[in-house]
Amino acid sequence: MASVGSILTGFFYALILGAMAFFVHKVLWFVRYRKIQERLVAKALERLREEANTTVVRWDQGADASWSEAALSDQGATPTDYVDRVEAKLRSIEEELRSGHHAVKDLFAKAVVGEEHPESPVQILAVPRLKGPARKVFLALRFAPIPDPEVPDESIFQLEVRSRYGFGRRLLAFVFGAADVVYSSQHVVRMSQDPKVPPGVLLRRISLVLLILLALLVDMGFGIRPRLHDWVEGYLIRNMGMEEGFIRDALSNSAALGLWLVVYGGLYMGLYLFLRWRSGRYLGRLEEMRKHFADQVADIRDQHLQDLDRWAHEYAGTLDDAAALTLNQAAMLVQRSTHRLRRRIASPRLLGLAAEVAVCFFDKLPESSKHLQDVATSHKHSWKHVVWPQPQEMRYQLELAQWRHAWRDIEVCLSTLRGKDPDPELADQLWRSLVRYARMFPRIVPEDLFARLQEAHGETVATLVDATEVDLEELDARLGELADALQRTVDAAGPLVESRIELAIRGMEASVADLASEVLAVRERARLEAMAFEI
């Protein structure tokens, strides 16, 4: 007789084997269940599509009647055709906008400085219209030529440096300084008549006289000439043995006076040469300016042309920016019309009805349950189904599959149509889907759904045509206003450029005049310095 332990052990192994068999059975049961479920779901969806093809005939007839009442003869067979036609026209306008824009920055600058001479105005932007020809904005690039600045006559460099005194007077002034006192006093009086003579020039002229007076004072204070007389007389006595008498006295006095005059004349001549050197410096500068005057005038013209070219590039950049801004504004208006058109095809009435129907289907699905029990888990099955899946007891899966498919179909359409770029074909598909679901699931959707869909569709197509035509009229008017505004901006360029060119010409003339004034100032300084040493 087996022990109790052996019995328990055998019972434990039997439970293990039974659990394993039960697990294998449940795996096979689940595989079978899933295959039956997939087959039923596919059959349900196929039946849904077959029934859908026969439930939209009445809808299509009513939709065609609504569209025929709302649309004109040339606006397409369906609302989708109408939307496609309008969008194609709006896309062509945007493409024409992009192709009609031409930057004029470089050409404008070349025309301003005279490097280019376009005979006809240049198109800066073409704004197409829905009705009528495109509004083209032209920029005239024919400006006044920039002449070369007027160059002063060569005479401004000419200066004749020649003393009014003859050779005799000059020699007398060098040898006999007292004579220059009279000359200097007359010369200073004559120079003082010019109020522009610098005081330093007068002082330098008077310094010649001061040198004479200084020499006389040194002679009188230190007895230079008597000392020279004694030295010469001693030399004559020692070396020549000349006796006292008239000849020795005359030779001594003459030699002493000559030596004194040589020393005085040398100082006088040195100061004279110094003043003449200062005058020569200005004369050399005047000659240097004469050599480079033409190059300096050319540099002045180039500098003003560079400034004008820089201004022209900056101003032309603002014109290009204005054209680009107009283009972008026009493109955004076109895109706005496209977006508004698509929003009308996905009307709020359509989205509202679709959301309402989606909620009706979702409430029937297990996903909507807020508890552990739902429409699927609470379904009662027979013991045969527990042992092995029975397809006839899984018919409720057909309804669940159809409801889930309808709910997902509506939600996908809604999420796309609520975006920024609704698809007209998808909107038409949603209309037809709602009609199918209204006919196929009368227990799920509201009873008056079909009538509400017909009313909403008629209102949508009427609003689509009327509002779109008004929108296109407004777009046409706005495009014309943008073109007119840009043309006014471009027209203002002519007077501005002419004024700027005039300023450049006046600036060149002023700069050349300043250069000529500098030449005259150097020439005048050379003349005054020459007057200072004139004796």
Q: Which of 16-20, 363-367, 383-387 shows the lowest per-residue confidence on average (mean pLDDT)? A: 383-387
Q: Which two tokens stand for residue 503?
A: 């300023």
**Over 60: is that where the pLDDT of 313 sits?**
yes
The pLDDT score that the predictor gives to residue 73 is 43
Tell me the mean pLDDT in the region 384-390.
62
Cβ neighbors of 216 (< 8 A, separation 6 or more) are: 177
d(CA 535, CA 456): 117
d(CA 326, CA 349): 36
Residue 216: inside a domain: no
> For the chain, what percent of residues have pLDDT higher than 70?
63
Question: pLDDT-derived band of residue 524, with 50, 70 and 90 as boundaries?
Answer: confident
**Over 80: is that where the pLDDT of 28 sits?**
no
Contact 533, 202 (CB under 8 A): no
Residue 519: inside a domain: no
Residue 409: inside a domain: yes
Contact 385, 393 (CB under 8 A): yes
Contact 437, 357 (CB under 8 A): yes
Considering 15-29, 64-78, 261-275, the range whose residues carry the highest mean pLDDT is 15-29
The conformation of residue 153, written as its DSSP 8-state character, comes to P
398 versus 114: the higher-pLDDT residue is 114
Residue 419: inside a domain: yes
As a whole number, the mean pLDDT across the chain is 76
Residue 60: inside a domain: yes
Cβ neighbors of 512 (< 8 A, separation 6 or more) are: 149, 150, 151, 152, 297, 300
Coil, helix or strand at residue 370: coil
Domain that holds residue 67: 4-73+348-370+382-457
Q: Which two tokens stand for residue 235?
A: 């030399």
Residue 361: inside a domain: yes
pLDDT digits (tens, 9 = 90+) for 169-224: 555 555 555 555 555 555 555 555 566 666 655 555 566 566 666 666 766 666 66
The pLDDT score that the predictor gives to residue 406 is 82
Q: How many residues does the chain have?
A: 535
Residue 45: inside a domain: yes
Residue 68: inside a domain: yes
Determine how many CB atoms are found less than 10 A away from the CB of residue 133: 8
**Over 60: is that where the pLDDT of 373 sits?**
no
pLDDT digits (tens, 9 = 90+) for 483-496: 999 999 999 988 99
**Over 50: is that where the pLDDT of 466 sits?**
yes
Number of domain units in the chain: 1
**Over 80: is that where the pLDDT of 76 sits?**
no
Specify the pTM: 0.65
Question: pLDDT-derived band of residue 59, with 50, 70 and 90 as boundaries?
Answer: low
Question: Within a 13 Å sphere around the CA of 378, how many CA atoms are in the beta-carbon half?
Answer: 8
157 versus 163: the higher-pLDDT residue is 157
CA angle, 359 as apex, 33 and 421 as ends, to 5°?
105
Considering 329-338, 374-383, 394-403, the range whose residues carry the highest mean pLDDT is 329-338
Smallest Cα–Cα separation from 535: which of 151, 285, 150, 170? 170
Distances (CA, A) of 22 to 15, 26, 29: 10, 6, 10
d(CA 480, CA 132): 11
Tell me the mean pLDDT in the region 372-380.
61
**Over 90: is that where the pLDDT of 329 sits?**
yes
The pLDDT score that the predictor gives to residue 306 is 92
Determine how many CB atoms are found less than 10 A away from the CB of residue 147: 11
Residue with tokens 């801004």: 325
Long-range contacts of 273-276 (CB under 8 A, 24+ apart): 275/204, 275/529, 275/532, 275/533, 276/530, 276/533
Contact 170, 180 (CB under 8 A): no
d(CA 387, CA 314): 89
The pLDDT score that the predictor gives to residue 70 is 47
